[in-house]
Homo-oligomer: A and B are copies of this chain.
Amino acid sequence: MSARGPIEYRDASSEIRAVFDDIKRTRQVEDVNNFWKYLAHDPATLKRTWESVKETMTPGALDAVTKEMIYLAVSVTNGCGYCIASHSAAARKAGMSEKMFGELMAVVGMANETNRLANGYRVPIDAAFDR
């Protein structure tokens, strides 16, 4: 655990509270996750990161569960323990079934394997891919 600790709503400046309020309203939750309580040590990064996450995670051409599964695929590849836990929960909340999780993990595993086979065999890019 960090020595710096989370910043709770009751101890937060009005600048931080404004971000926390927007997270709670947008996500319909009673409290924000630890991630935001720690980022609050740098209010500028808290605000910029939340606004970027909100913009990129809003359903568009991709729906919410697909976006959460992509987030999870990246987090699993990077081995970020916090992010795997939080985005597993978020993806399930957005509708990821256990069967979908299993298939997601199978693809993530194979992609990490074949990325290294392509590296090691030094495979040149097929001309057809750029057509």
Q: Mark A64-102, 1 if CB is under 8 A from B, else 0.
A: 001101111111111111111111110000000111101
One of B3, B52, B56, B76 near A120 (C-beta < 8 A)? B76
Which secondary structure dominates where chain A touches chain B? helix
Q: How far is the CB of A79 from chain B (nearest CB, A)?
A: 5
Residue tally, chain A, CB below 8 Å to B? 79
- Contact across chains for A122 and B55 when beta carbons are under 8 A apart: no
Give A116 to B97 CA distance when docked, in angstroms: 19
A residues apposed to B, CB below 8 Å: 1-4, 33-35, 38-39, 41-42, 44-45, 48-49, 52-53, 55-57, 60-62, 66-67, 69-89, 97-100, 102-126, 128-131
